[in-house]
Amino acid sequence: MAKVVLASALSRWLPEAGGKPSADIVVDVPGSRLDQVLDGVFARFPNLRGYVLDEHGTVRHHVAIFVDGTAIADKRRPAQALGERAEVYVMQALSGG
Amino acid sequence: MGSTLLVSTRKGLFVLARDGVAWRVASSAFLGDNVALALADPRDGAWYAVLDLGHFGNKLQRSDDGGRTWAECAVPAYAADDHVTTGDGKPPRAAALKLIWALEAGGADEPGRLWAGTVPGGLFRSDDRGASWELVRSLWDRPERSLWFGGGKDEPGIHSICVDPRDARRLRLAISSGGVWCTDDGGASWRQSAEGMFAAYMPEDRKFDPNIQDVHRLVQCRAAPETFWAQHHNGVFRSEGGGAAWREVPDVQPSVFGFAVAVHPRDPATAWFVPAIKDERRIPVDGKVVVARTRDAGASFEVLRAGLPQQHAYDLVLRHALAIDGSGERLAFGSTTGGFWTSEDQGDRWRMLDARLPPVHAVTFA
């Protein structure tokens, strides 16, 4: 089981977020690998996949995923093992403009 | 006459409505988000907006109630083994959607059909109002695609899609930089038709290669669909041959460089341009915003400036940011510095919108 936090910049695009455009979303999702946990989140928020991953499954260039406080090492294949009660933060990387 | 304008900007979609002879901002959507372009579908009244979100990729949204509510559609996607190979020496790479750079409605007899042109150069078709998209492989698989360049973007892009009003199976596309492509059978087969265009900046032996022509914008006359106008990187070209057999129009004043072009919907000899100095200096000539108009198929041009800023104006007008309505009387354009002007009389006089808009990407009448 992992705790997944979706930053407000993402949650505002999710119809299932129920009109709370400026709040983070926190969900508990089963899984022992990052890809399993992400799939679980995408099952709950179907349009989220295209915001986090491109059409080839790579984490988008300007999206950051942190696991227990450390940025994931492989954005092409986000499938690393997760510990019990891992905390996964999905957020926008900083950019200008 | 068109009485609603959709203005796509760097920080939102703005809906303009007429207030007497002036226009005003009536509503907005996606405030703060980068809206690349919008389409008002004349068949069912739907509005579509392409969002180019810096962090989260391209998204397509549709409104069926005049912009009051919006719902997300699907976007085009490339397969794992699709690759982009360009003719300008960049290494091949996996194809991924960078930008929906053109979005057009199919024919009146094709309900639900949309066409999307993309960077990195794929044309996509939807038959369900954007719920799903399919890459048009008959064009994507053409060997000439490996000759195309990026023009302004790192990768080639389809920015203009003209659907023939007589027969919606006839499409004409313009690609920056990949010339003009034609199909007469709904996309089953394609031919390159940029012959007659030339790229002044290329080595002599490649200058006339149709597959590297950097067309900035392609438009078709609705009442005379054999006539097309193209604003090209180094000039203006015109076709009376259905998008083939192009002839240069050399005397555009004050400059032949620019991005946008509009053609009168009933008069194929009348067209408008918004020139800039040149490629390396993309600002108006002498700091004066002007519109060039021809009424004689390009033999001569008038320079229209009434109501437009005539000192220290550095507005650039992008390829989708000049629009004409169905009557041919009303025009509107917006600039990269947020200037916005409308005309009720084919450009004789212009009125500035009382607003400071974000940088304008695209303008269309709804």
pLDDT, one tens digit per residue, over A62-91 is 999 999 999 999 999 999 999 999 999 999
Whether A56 and chain B come into contact, CB under 8 Å, resolves to yes
Whether B81 and chain A come into contact, CB under 8 Å, resolves to no
| Cross-chain residue pair B56–A10, CB shorter than 8 Å | yes
Question: Are residues B312 and B284 in contact, defined by beta-carbon separation less than 8 angstroms?
Answer: no
pLDDT of residue B153: 87
Please indicate, yes or no, if residue A49 is contained in any of the structural domains: yes
Among the partner-chain residues B56, B75, B80, the one whose CB lies closest to the CB of A56 is: B80
Q: Which of B229, B260, B254, B237 is nearest to B332 (CA)?
A: B260
How is residue B225 annotated by DSSP? Answer: T
Among the partner-chain residues A15, A47, A62, the one whose CB lies closest to the CB of B54 is: A62
Please indicate, yes or no, if residue A34 is contained in any of the structural domains: yes
Whether A47 and chain B come into contact, CB under 8 Å, resolves to yes
How is residue A40 annotated by DSSP? Answer: H
Which stretches within B51-195 are classed as H helix? 137-140
How is residue B109 annotated by DSSP? Answer: T
Q: Could you tell me the pLDDT band of residue B238, with boundaries at 50, 70 and 90?
A: very high
Q: Which of B161, B158, B89 is nearest to B121 (CA)?
A: B158
Please indicate, yes or no, if residue A97 is contained in any of the structural domains: no
Q: Which residues of B touch A95 (CB under 8 A)?
A: 54-55
pLDDT of residue B89: 86
Please indicate, yes or no, if residue B197 is contained in any of the structural domains: yes
Q: How many domains does chain A have?
A: 1
**Residues B308-364: pLDDT tens digits?**
999 999 999 999 999 999 999 999 999 999 999 999 999 999 999 999 999 999 999
Both tokens of residue B98?
A: 């960078």
Please indicate, yes or no, if residue A86 is contained in any of the structural domains: yes
Please indicate, yes or no, if residue B29 is contained in any of the structural domains: no
| Cross-chain residue pair B96–A55, CB shorter than 8 Å | yes
Q: Which residues of B touch A9 (CB under 8 A)?
A: 55
Q: Which domain holds residue B174?
A: 80-349
Q: How many domains does chain B have?
A: 1
Whether A52 and chain B come into contact, CB under 8 Å, resolves to yes
Which stretches within B130-233 are classed as H helix? 137-140
pLDDT of residue A95: 57
Classify each residue of B130-149 as buried b or exposed e, where b means 16 or more C-beta atoms within 10 Å of its C-beta: beebebbeebbebebbebbb
Q: Which residues of B touch A93 (CB under 8 A)?
A: 55
Question: Are residues B39 and B26 in contact, defined by beta-carbon separation less than 8 angstroms?
Answer: no
Please indicate, yes or no, if residue B125 is contained in any of the structural domains: yes
Q: Which residues of A touch B96 (CB under 8 A)?
A: 54-56
pLDDT of residue A97: 47
Q: Which residues of A touch B97 (CB under 8 A)?
A: 54-55
pLDDT of residue A20: 62
Mean pLDDT on B124-153: 95
Mean pLDDT on B226-233: 97
Positive or negative torsion for Cα B88, B93, B98, B100: positive
Please indicate, yes or no, if residue A6 is contained in any of the structural domains: yes
Average pLDDT taken over every residue of chain B: 96
Terminal Cα distance for chain B, rounded: 10
Please indicate, yes or no, if residue A26 is contained in any of the structural domains: yes
Residue B55 makes CB contacts below 8 A (sequence gap 6+) with A9, A51, A60, A62, A63, A92, A93, A95
Domain containing residue A36: CATH number: 3.10.20.30
Does the structure show a pLDDT above 90 at A17? no
Whether B70 and chain A come into contact, CB under 8 Å, resolves to no
ipTM score for this prediction: 0.88
| Cross-chain residue pair A63–B55, CB shorter than 8 Å | yes
Worst-scoring range by mean pLDDT, B148-152, B231-235, B359-363?
B148-152
Q: Which of B158, B82, B87, B83 is nearest to B125 (CA)?
A: B158
* Nearest Cα residue in chain A from B358: A97
Q: Which residues of A touch B78 (CB under 8 A)?
A: 55-56
Does the structure show a pLDDT above 90 at B134? yes
* Nearest Cα residue in chain B from A10: B56
| Cross-chain residue pair A95–B96, CB shorter than 8 Å | no
Q: Which domain holds residue A45?
A: 2-92
Domain containing residue B148: CATH number: 2.130.10.10
Terminal Cα distance for chain A, rounded: 37
**β-strand A2-6 against A86-92: which pairing, if any?**
parallel
Worst-scoring range by mean pLDDT, B16-20, B141-145, B292-296?
B16-20
Please indicate, yes or no, if residue B33 is contained in any of the structural domains: no
Mean pLDDT on B187-191: 98
**Residues B64-107: pLDDT tens digits?**
999 999 999 999 999 999 999 999 888 899 999 999 999 999 99
CB-neighbour burial class of residue B311 (10 A; exposed 0-12, middle 13-18, buried 19+): exposed
| Cross-chain residue pair B55–A47, CB shorter than 8 Å | no
Among the partner-chain residues B72, B80, B97, the one whose CB lies closest to the CB of A47 is: B72
Question: Are residues B135 and B141 in contact, defined by beta-carbon separation less than 8 angstroms?
Answer: no
Among the partner-chain residues B72, B75, B96, the one whose CB lies closest to the CB of A56 is: B96
The H-or-E segment that residue B142 falls in is none
Whole-Å CA distances, B301 to A14, B214, B237, B272: 51, 23, 14, 9
State what percent of residues in chain A have pLDDT above 90.
Answer: 79
| Cross-chain residue pair A50–B80, CB shorter than 8 Å | no
Does the structure show a pLDDT above 90 at A22? no
Q: Which residues of A touch B71 (CB under 8 A)?
A: 15
Both tokens of residue B162?
A: 């003209």
Q: Could you tell me the pLDDT band of residue B41, with boundaries at 50, 70 and 90?
A: very high
